[in-house]
Chain A
Amino acid sequence: NAGVMQNPRHLVRRRGQEARLRCSPMKGHSHVYWYRQLPEEGLKFMVYLQKENIIDESGMPKERFSAEFPKEGPSILRIQQVVRGDSAAYFCASSPGVGQGATEAFFGQGTRLTVV
């Protein structure tokens, strides 16, 4: 029973390139959350998606960042024209749906993006 799977684990991009981060939720989960962790900081919420819908993108930078969760396949966080300040760890979490309890507690292992 695989947990939340993120790939790649490490990603190096030159300034100006695009970064694509993938998140496959746990089996049976249809809700995905993306968080960013800058060095020496806690995680900051970016976006919450359900299949084919963006529910809350209040934490997404206004430009260059986008996210999707298609009907089939993983959720994708896309960063266009990366800059050095985008270097961070990006985490994904998934849940089976809206509810109480600790069901939204589990994270993937993260993708470490380094922009050179």
Chain B
Amino acid sequence: AQKITQTQPGMFVQEKEAVTLDCTYDTSDPSYGLFWYKQPSSGEMIFLIYQGSYDQQNATEGRYSLNFQKARKSANLVISASQLGDSAMYFCAMRENRAGGTSYGKLTFGQGTILTVHP
């Protein structure tokens, strides 16, 4: 079963506009973490933002915010004021906790969304 689903293979946005990248997840674990990464054409994985399942507020990091809707099991990434340098592949990932409450770092990734920012 697919645990992380990114339904948008590609997205386009005009420079300075906001864009939302979708991510839904599936888990029966009440304690989990959700991550977003950016992978530019150079290939490295750049950590953007993290949301814990028990966090009351949506995570924000500069121009990045995570629209966390727990009941719908969605964790969409919102990029405000898009810049040309935001053009990249974006991955959503989930870390589930082992039974017993301790977590470890094994991440499950979605297929990714290619974002293209137009001038």
Contact = CB atoms under 8 A, between A and B. Distances in A.
Interface in B91-112: 91, 93, 95, 102-112
Interface in B48-71: 50, 52
Contact of A48 (B37, B102, B104): B104
A91 B107 CA distance: 12
Interface residues of B, number: 24
A107 B109 CA distance: 14
Chain B: interface secondary structure? strand
A99 B109 contact: no
Contacts of A100: 33, 52, 103
Nearest to B109: A42
A98 B43 contact: no
A104 B104 contact: yes
A45 B43 contact: no
Contacts of A101: 33, 50, 52
- Range for the number of chain A residues in contact with chain B: 20 to 34
Interface of B: 4, 33, 35, 37, 43-45, 47, 50, 52, 91, 93, 95, 102-112
Interface of A: 31, 33, 35, 41-45, 48, 55-56, 89, 91, 93, 95, 98-107, 109-110, 112
